[in-house]
Chain A
Amino acid sequence: MWRWLHPYAKPEATFALTQKLIPWFAVPGLVLVIVSLVWGLAFAPPDYQQGESYRIIFVHVPSAMWAMGFYVGMAIAGVIALVWQIRTAELAILAIAPVGAMLTFISLFTGAIWGQPMWGTWWVWDARLTAQLILLFLYLGVMALYVAFEDERAGAKAASILAIVGVINIPIIHYSVYWWNTLHQKSTVTRAITRLEAPSIAPEMLWPLLVSILAMLLVCAALVLMRLNNEILRREIHRPWALQHLGIHFATADNKKEKGDADAV
């Protein structure tokens, strides 16, 4: 069942795949970004309580959601790196962490900007906000641990373990608004999609929100792929296929011939 995955343990195969996939994520992603911007900023109706300020939701929710999603992805890469010792998975951690950290930062930043007019404060030390701040520190910890060792692979192992252990924070973030009293409102999208509770968002707002969530996923996936691509290239820079890809015509053949001639004497 997983046989098809095996060739991608080879960096060269993954490099070729990411190279091919980047435009397939980047182009639809950018198109959807424009669609969600126009839809969310100009066409979605204003909120009956929050007026136009609620439009921050179209960057706040997607970034917060994928900050958690990418963390889980990074932890899965960590499991693969630890169990099967696949280098490409280690590089994936290095590719995902900065994007995830940036998403977490965006969610905190836009949340603060949204909190100021609506709650009257930029920041409160309540469950949801604090748990999300811990997520940022986990990402930064993974990045720091990765480069903290002389041997890069030892760092990758330590970072994998931290990434896996940190997954505990993800359900805490998600359920924080249910488990504790918090200023933060409850999950809008989960309620709208699962219908376990009455949805709290009108379809005219939900649809552009879903588009912005998809746009954020595609754009950030493209960023992760670009970074993974770079990391593989960095690790494999001496291989002929890498040089060939960069368009460097290393005259290896000539040299070999010349060297061979010289050695033959």
Chain B
Amino acid sequence: MQFDSWQAFINMGGYGIYVWSSFAGTFLCLGLLALEASWRRSVLAREATKQAARAERILRARAAKKRAAKEEPN
């Protein structure tokens, strides 16, 4: 351990602002990429669910219409 106290660790020999801002910036950037990737995934899942439900509704409606058309002439 190179530092005697938390104070010295935060201070980084007077370069604290430089050292900590570069580390914080790095983690912010990479964290944003990770967040974006998982957000994209959830959007994709939501859209797929919506589209699947829509496709299903269309098929059902079509089938119902055919059934109705079959019954009507009688």
Instruction: Indicate whether A and B interact.
Output: yes
State the total of A-B contacts with C-beta under 8 angstroms: 125
A243 to B45, CA, bound (A): 8
Which residues of A, 158-194, contact B by the 8 Å Cβ criterion?
none
Chain A 217-236, CB-CB to B under 8 Å as 1, else 0, gives 00110010011011001100
Taking CB atoms, residues of chain B closer than 8 Å to A59 are 22-23, 26
A109 to B32, CA, bound (A): 16
Taking CB atoms, residues of chain B closer than 8 Å to A223 are 30, 33-34, 37
Asked if A53 meets B44 with Cβ closer than 8 Å, knowing A43-B2, A99-B33, the reply is: no
Q: Is the interface of B mostly helix, strand, loop or mixed?
A: helix
**Number of B positions contacting A (CB below 8 A):** 40
Taking CB atoms, residues of chain A closer than 8 Å to B51 are 237-238
A265 to B62, CA, bound (A): 13
Q: Are A109 and B22 in contact (CB under 8 A)?
A: yes
Taking CB atoms, residues of chain B closer than 8 Å to A99 are 33
Chain A 44-72, CB-CB to B under 8 Å as 1, else 0, gives 11100001110110011001000000000
Contacts from A to B (Cβ < 8 Å): 37, 41-46, 51-53, 55-56, 59-60, 63, 98-99, 102, 105-106, 109-110, 113-114, 116-117, 219-220, 223, 226-227, 229-230, 233-234, 237-238, 242-243, 246-248, 250-251, 255, 258-259, 261-263, 265
Contacts A110-B22, A246-B45, A258-B63 known; 10 new A-B pairs at CB < 8 A: A52-B12, A52-B19, A53-B13, A102-B29, A117-B15, A117-B18, A220-B30, A233-B41, A251-B56, A261-B63
A-B contact pairs, 10 of them (CB 8 A): A45-B2, A51-B14, A56-B19, A243-B48, A251-B56, A255-B56, A259-B59, A261-B63, A262-B62, A262-B66
